[in-house]
Structure 1
Amino acid sequence: MTDRSPLPPGSTIGIFGGGQLGRMLAISALQLGYRCIGYAPAGDNVAAEASADFIEKHWGDGEALSTFAARCDVVTWEFENVPVTAVEAIPAERLACGPRALEIAQDRLAEKRFVEELGGLATPHMRVESDEDFAAAIERIGTPGILKTAREGYDGKGQWRVDDGHAARGVRFPGQRCIYEGLVDFEAEFSVILARGSDGEVRFWDSAANTHEGGMLVQSVLPAGARIEAQVEEARALASRVADALSYVGVLTLEFFATKDGPVFNEMAPRVHNSGHWTIEGAATSQFENHVRAICGLPLGATATRFATIDMRNIVGKQASRAHAILAEEGEPHLHLYGKREAREGRKMGHVTRVGARLP
């Protein structure tokens, strides 16, 4: 998609994927006068509740994809594991941006090479395609580290932590291409989240300090602290180079470790991101609204932080059954439940954002 006139109210946005990110995108689209149609295989597609229509068909259903494309004025995605073949079935003029960002983000090895070629510092890593490769990676990089599937896997899935040589002997190559990453000695974790318009304009939100447990984000807080704030400018410069190299349109997220050697790139998400949920209440324009603005050719909104302190926490698994009790807390907590039917262990069911004093 190139720079073009804004889509008029009443236009239709197509969203690949049916999760909570698609749901929140659809809500923002409604506020701007657009309607959304979702597309994903059958399942707990909570985005359908906020969409004008939802097509539940397989990613390889050419006829269904053609029908979907014909009904949409622009098409985007809400998660990075949408098959590239499905995106390529959409006429290029209707795509918010091309599928290259997905191709890179879907492969952890390609992702790290891409960022390194742009001057970024990535975590130490090696390709692993056999038990012998794994042993060689342990020998070269050392422990502790993490063996990860090169494709798919998120929130800690498809990952095996290796604390020492003894633990490594208990891990076997899972039969698909993997990457072994050495753990980084870091002081904090943070995200750089940007919105890039079809005209190339880029706006950043403030970076929150992120906390992960078991590979899943559990908390994002602002202010992020001095260590992160000292490294944000360098991380933003890399994120801008990534967005420009991809001719990206929409919200793009890069995750970093703050280390004594500067920001170390961890992974990229070409989409709205969990660590940006605080922007709904906490920023002048949320990540979801700015994504809609970008893909529809509208001017980007201001991204300034509105409160002196912000604390976003995920609600996971059976915590959702007690979530309404949060509403009785002081300080006007902002609760978002995603409407998922099954509260499985480790499944994100919602989030709550607590804010402090409003900034002038």
Structure 2
Amino acid sequence: MRVGILGGGQLAQMIAQAGANLDMSFKFISPDPKACAAPYGEHICADYQDEQAYQQMLEWADVFTYEFESIPKSVVESLEKKLALLPSSKALNVAGDRLKEKRTFNGLGIPTANFAPVDSLESLQSAVEQIGLPAILKTRSEGYDGKGQAVLRDVSQLEAAWQSVGQVPCILESMVNFSREVSIIAARSKQGEIVYYPLTENHHREGILRLSLPLQNDPYQQQAEKLAKALLDELDYVGVIAVELFQVGESLVANEFAPRVHNSGHWTIEGAHTSQFENHLRAICGLPLGKTDAINSCAMVNIIGKLPREEDVAAIEGARFHDYSKDEKPGRKIGHITITSEGLSGEAFNANLKCILQLVGEDPELR
């Protein structure tokens, strides 16, 4: 099977790595000459609107997928008319616009924070009167890892916040008083079969995911699966999806969804019977979906900005080092470390996880 991927970053890299055992080959379109996925297939270094590059892909590929949401809408819709592109442009269009996303959730009966559209400083003032403070101003498109956002706690901050997000279409969301952040990752096949991974508890700092902990037999697993299923069926979705949720009291409130493999699912490479990356390929290529059970206790720690020494990671029992081959840069995800509990006591697993957190510059008590 020949898979064309829009994007050449670490998610494309890990998709291609998973495809090696499925006898698949890959081509990537990315304008980045240092695309870290390039060693795992053929890299077409071109802009995402380059028609000649897409013609090369169309003549070669059996199916298209993508690793991020900000692909030009016109490109996606044009490709979809000529070759299977999965997940579909419908899912991409909803996920790429926070206002559409929130309205889709609410239309399915999935609770969210209170929200209002913002298109000007005047409409921001009106939205604050409607939503109240504190609240978060977010750009409707783009923006991730805390970018394109401003926290508002006082009306005196409105003008500066509007300037800081670039005076582009936004959404104002009420602050959610949550007890924890979780995500549910699922894969849906072309036939509508759905498999779910264990609910994952996520810990952020400065808007960037730092630690993910899959939780076996979590009491909110079924509630999360029900919300994800409603969205998957509504979008007639094919591939892997991640739905980010807040736990508020005894209910789950939707934050956003990603129509792709997701950072909070990186633990599945070593920690699940079938990784999210392999199941994404299985879904879009029409293969049977793999088992999603966690093999044992597991955790994933992101490496932000600066890589630790590989030998220091190797010295921690149960740890696996994933280097994305990206240049070091403050605030940039350049790798991750997973740790599994195979052969370890619970006490030893927790101690080793603390060592990993400390190694990458995080608070060892982050959990």
* TM-score with structure 1 setting the length: 0.90
Q: Matches of 1:296 and 1:336 in 2, distance apart?
A: 26
Alignment of 1:344 with 2:332, yes or no, is no
Q: How much does 1:332 deviate?
A: 2.3
**Distance 1:232-1:168 versus aligned 2 partners, 3 A rule:** farther
- What are the residue-to-residue correspondences of 1:300-315 with 2, within 5 Å? 300-307=289-296, 309-315=297-303
Q: Matches of 2:253 and 2:82 in 1, distance apart?
A: 34
Aligned sequence identity (%) = 40
SS at match of 2:309: helix
Amino acid corresponding to residue 328 of structure 1 in structure 2: A
Q: Matches of 1:357 and 1:150 in 2, distance apart?
A: 43
Q: Which one of the candidate residues 258, 261, 283 is aligned to 1:272?
A: 261
Q: Deviations over 1:280-322 (max 9, x none)?
A: 0110100001011111111000001110x2121100002x153
Aligned 8 A contact 2:187 2:280 in 1: yes
Aligned 8 A contact 1:219 1:311 in 2: yes
Larger CA deviation: 96-105 vs 275-284: 96-105
> 2:167 matched to which residue of 1?
175
- Flag structure 2 segments of 5+ consecutive residues without an equivalent: 345-367
Q: Deviations over 1:204-259 (max 9, x none)?
A: 000111011121111101337x9xx3333122112111111111111011100001
Q: Matches of 1:352 and 1:163 in 2, distance apart?
A: 36
Q: Deviations over 1:157-191 (max 9, x none)?
A: 11111233344454234321011111100001100
Relative contact order higher in (CA < 8 Å, ≥ 6 apart): 1
Q: Which one of the candidate residues 228, 236, 247 is aligned to 2:225?
A: 236
* TM-score with structure 2 setting the length: 0.89
SS at match of 1:89: helix
SS at match of 1:253: strand
Larger CA deviation: 95-104 vs 283-292: 95-104
**Distance 1:70-1:105 versus aligned 2 partners, 3 A rule:** same
Q: Matches of 1:257 and 1:82 in 2, distance apart?
A: 27
> 1:249 matched to which residue of 2?
238
Aligned 8 A contact 2:318 2:341 in 1: no
**Distance 1:358-1:126 versus aligned 2 partners, 3 A rule:** farther
> 1:122 matched to which residue of 2?
112
**Distance 1:223-1:96 versus aligned 2 partners, 3 A rule:** closer
Q: Matches of 1:345 and 1:323 in 2, distance apart?
A: 19
Q: Matches of 1:63 and 1:312 in 2, distance apart?
A: 39
Q: Which one of the candidate residues 200, 205, 215 is aligned to 2:192?
A: 200
> 1:87 matched to which residue of 2?
76
Q: Matches of 2:274 and 2:2 in 1, distance apart?
A: 21
**Distance 1:100-1:324 versus aligned 2 partners, 3 A rule:** farther
> 1:291 matched to which residue of 2?
280
Q: Matches of 2:8 and 2:220 in 1, distance apart?
A: 35
- Flag structure 1 segments of 5+ consecutive residues without an equivalent: 1-10
How many residues get paired? 341
Amino acid corresponding to residue 60 of structure 1 in structure 2: Q
> 1:34 matched to which residue of 2?
24
Aligned 8 A contact 1:65 1:86 in 2: no
Q: Matches of 1:147 and 1:278 in 2, distance apart?
A: 31
Larger CA deviation: 270-279 vs 128-137: 128-137
Q: Could you say what the CA RMSD is over the residues aligned between the two structures, in angstroms?
A: 1.8
Q: Which one of the candidate residues 312, 319, 326 is aligned to 2:313?
A: 326
Moved over 4 A (4+): none
